[in-house]
Structure 1
Amino acid sequence: MSSDIAISVKNLTKKYRIFGHPGDRIKQALTFGRVRFHREFTALQDVSFEIKRGETVGIIGRNGSGKSTLLQLICGILKPTVGAVEVNGRISALLELGAGFNPEFTGRENVYFQGTILGLSKEEMDSRFADIAAFADIGEFLDQPVRTYSSGMFVRLAFATAIHVDPDILVVDEALAVGDMAFQRKCFERLGQLLSDRQRVVLLVSHDLRQVERFCSRAIFLQSGKIMADGPAHDVCQLYCEKANEEIKLENSSAASWSRAKIDSSGEVELLNINIMDSNGQEIQEICPGDPLRVRIRFRLFVSLTQPELIVGTQAVDMQFLSSSTTAELGVPIRLEPGEHLVEYLLDQFPLAPGRYFIRFVIRDKTFRIVFAGEGLCPFLVIADSREFDRPPRLLDLKPEWVLCGVHY
């Protein structure tokens, strides 16, 4: 392996044996493997890449795509089924919460234990300990058993230890997600300092695509144990975002699969159907941010209602009300006779950002008695375009004007 290559992964495959019952292991052993009582699960399949010194690489993908398995193979925690991993340098890993720390040891003892594993002498750890303790900032808990730590305290100590043992390769697997915002900022500032040494490598697994794009020069996108893309972080993250949107659309092709409808009725009203329509009157289940929203509601009334109030609104996936409009604002007396009725609710622009939404429909009589109340109705999707990844998180999709240096944009 070339001296400028820190990590080389060649044709890496990792398979697990899945047994339906613990006793099946014994049965298979007694047959000397001639009869199989297991099925194989392939966590990684034929993965190959090289990472040069000085690179910061993000590993992205959905849960179960093989990210953590890949890191454990690189760190030597797991052995590959097929293929090989070559590492040139000292690895310091911050993997899943609790990995590498003995819960019965104190924090201080675990720090020295980690240093010993990485080949550092007691004298070398003594010279680093004050900096580790200051960075972790967990006070008197440093001399308490790790099993008494909160998840945040644990990750503070684990990260402080990992970055102060002079690693050639630092591996971080989503562990920083449990830290508070101030500590995460502190960690990434420290990582930035580490990267000033162009010989170090940082391998980061994260579900925060903006974090990966901002911090990593390169990204690897894993899907079902295979590499889907490997290249500049921005390009790979955008591809992942587009793939994720496609999968969401596929999952939501049957809107009933995520319906949360809840209906309360006095028996005087029957909801026949409620749909989202396009400008041509065709039923749809998705719109783009800023598109018109047209809701068509058909219901049957069994009694006459004088001066009823119809309320239509939108809800988020947590059923929070996002908008609500009422016919009472029209200032026009309404009378509904028994029979079928058609109501349409139109917005010139729907200003909500990409996500899942629902319709709320309520009918009240003139005494404000609720005759019908439906929530979580007619699920629909506001879809993202290819530029969504570049936009900041938000709920509303507003179209502002900007004035910069006296110029309107």
Structure 2
Amino acid sequence: MFARKAASPTSPLHTIALCFIVALIEGFDLQAAGIAAPHIAMEFGLSAVQLGWFFSVGLIGLLPGALFGGWLADRLGRKGVLIAAVLLFGIFSLLTAHAGSYSMLLLARLATGLGLGAALPILIAVSSEVADGGLKSTAVSLTYCGVPLGGATAALMGVLGVGDDWRLIFYVGGIAPILVAGLLAMFLREVPVVRSNSSSERGSAVTGLFAQGRTTATLLIWVSSFFTLAVLYMLLNWLPSLLVSLGYDHVQAGYVQILFNIGGAAGSILTGRLMDRASPILVVLSTYLGMLVALAAIGLVQRFDLLLLAGAAAGFCAIGGQLVLYALAPMLYPVDIRATGVGATVAVGRLGSMAGPLVAGQILALGTGGSGVLFAAAPGLLLSAGAALALMRGQRRDADSAGACAATKAVGQP
């Protein structure tokens, strides 16, 4: 299924498994803030706007983490930078549990975000690099499905009442990555980074993202990532509170969040497989249309069983849409700037992930309620879908042109 690299004694499947475990813990930590938020708000006396900053400050750390994590991985190697990132978010997750004030809470979440941000682009780059050419999207999806599954684990802890002691969630989110860093040190083999003689090597990594006709593709994937992650992280952070504002209790909200993440894991795997086997354009259309319908259903349905179905569908489509972008990003850039390109895509998406929770907090402060927040997401989804479709059409035209050139050369040969 996956290509075996001669320079690495560890099989590609083992590498994918290690990347999945890191993604699982990352998803747990990202979701932990939303699970612990009601208890933190009560203990520290936080307003809706302050709670929005609690969500967003960790996401602020994701931005420079993704940028510099990918850049360092292209220069120092994937393994060492990944281990450092995992240790960073593990240690500061533990420190979150010991925060004694609102300012210390924000500082700990900011540093946690730095480590989380650095890890994700490396995971995506590594999983794409160890896979056969026709299975790269599938490999990325198998890694990335760990993020929603980790979120589902955190949500399950909340349903079981473990979240009543909010510090326990951050203890789990801190100890687990420190242990996994040891596994990475022992079993993860460095994926060789092959330097090319292209112009991207002669220039800086950042300018390479815009060299050789890559400007349009880079800008389009950035736009799509921004708006997709704005909606996704609005849901990841605010979904329990939004559902409570719509009249559901905390246990019901927890079950919806569990299904949101389980649906997201299924969406990640299936979307990645369809990207390799079916029409990518059709995948994008169905994914973003499904997001619009699911968000409307969450705000409108009156029956709890239908709400559970809507939550699963929202997770399936929202995380599936994010997977589409993460699967495309490694294919846009040569190997010598691949982690930098993925990191830049993730970083711009993180700007959206910061904006989403903040905008939701402001909308709730205006008194529009949970339904208003859900419907406010529609314009961003339409922009994201349009950018993703334009990117895929451009990639298909480039592929057709390259094929035509190759065919012409072949005909001209004696």
Q: TM-score of the superposition, structure 1-length normalised?
A: 0.21
Of Structure 1 and Structure 2, which has the larger fraction of its residues in strand? 1
Of Structure 1 and Structure 2, which has the larger fraction of its residues in helix? 2
Relative contact order, higher structure (CA 8 A, sep 6+): 2
- The higher radius of gyration belongs to 1
Q: TM-score of the superposition, structure 2-length normalised?
A: 0.21
